[in-house]
Amino acid sequence: MASGSNLGIVKQRLAAARRITVLTGAGISADSGVPTFRGADGLWRNYRVEDLATPEAFQRDPRLVWEWYNWRRELIATKQPNEAHKAIAKLERRCPDFWLITQNVDGLHRDAGSQKVSEIHGNIWKIRCTGCGVVEDNRDVPVPLLPSCPRCEALLRPHIVWFGESLCTVDLDSCSRALQHCDVLLVIGTSGVVYPAAGFASVAKEAGAFVAEINPDSTPQSSLVDVSLQGRAKDLVPLLFDPI
């Protein structure tokens, strides 16, 4: 559980901050019923990363990769943003200089109303052509197992950043600005092992920000942050923005 005094310290820092950046991972959506990747019930317990989340896997067996994404799309379509997603969207409307960096591809932050957001690992509701590169939102359209581009007939792929692929430079620039200039960085529900996001807490810390982590478990970043609040995102995040 989060100790009362640590919670109070983070609340005070947030209340005094003009520039706030939030970094989220799968743990924030765990409270909405979306599976995380690592840990006891994580996706990587039953699926091998190298079979599904690399460009090589897609080249080898695009049908298998699309089957997995279609299964996840069906699952995520049944989920709603929780109190933590909603509290972050509310904070964006209150804070003059705010940026949300999410590693999540489920779109729940946008569903909750967040607009100032970089989805650095992509979005499961978008598809991209491997030929002409056009990206389309196809949330309401079921994806056939081997979808092809209506413009150039090349294979379509999920608009997701797989291991070994570079993140979009526009996103990296927005993240860099948000990390270099924030007064407070909140790191919520990420295991902190996947780079470059795993390095974001130390970037903000070195630039002088107050950094707080919210997670039921400790992570590789726990020792460098100013405060670790141990608990679930949906319980703790709404408390952070209540009046002091």
Which residues belong to the active site?
121
CA distance 244 to 242: 6
Closest distance to ligand BJW from the beta carbon of 174 (Å): 16
Distance CA 109, CA 22 (A): 12
| Token reading at 188 | 């919520």
> How far apart, in whole angstroms, are the C-alpha atoms of residue 212 and residue 173?
22
Q: How far apart are CA 108 and CA 119, in angstroms?
A: 11
14, 23, 26, 184: which one binds ligand BJW (CB under 6 A): 26
Binds 50: which of ligand BJW, Zn ion, none (CB < 5-8 Å by kind): none
Stretch that binds ligand BJW, among 2-10, 55-63, 157-165, 175-183 (CB under 6 A): 157-165
Q: Report the distance separating Cα 103 and Cα 52, nearest Å.
A: 17
| CA pair distance 149, 134, nearest whole angstrom | 9
Q: Which of residues 170-189 bind ligand BJW (CB under 6 A)?
A: 189
**Among 14, 22, 30, 149, interactor with ligand BJW by CB under 6 A:** 30
| Using rule CB under 6 A, residue 25 touches ligand BJW | yes
Pairing type for strands 97-102 and 19-24 reads parallel
Residue 101: both structure tokens together = 């960096």
Q: Which of 21, 114, 118, 190 touches ligand BJW (CB under 6 A)?
A: 190
Residues 6+ apart with CB under 8 A from 104: 24, 25, 26, 28, 29, 34, 119, 121
The residue within the footprint of ligand BJW, chosen from 39, 62, 113, 238 (CB under 6 A), is: 39
Q: How far apart are CA 160 and CA 166, in angstroms?
A: 11
Q: Which stretch binds ligand BJW (CB under 6 A): 89-97, 136-144, 174-182, 215-223?
A: 215-223
Tell me: does residue 33 bind ligand BJW (CB under 6 A). no
Span near ligand BJW by CB under 6 A; candidates 36-44, 108-116, 138-146, 203-211: 36-44
Interaction of residue 193 with ligand BJW, rule CB under 6 A? yes
Binders of ligand BJW in range 51-70 (CB under 6 A): 53
Taking the least distance from each CB to ligand BJW, the nearer of 105 and 201 is 105
CA distance 193 to 203: 15
Tokens of 177: 């600005």
Contact set with ligand BJW (CB under 6 A): 25-27, 30-31, 36-39, 42, 53, 103, 105, 121, 160-167, 189-191, 193-196, 215-217, 219, 232-233
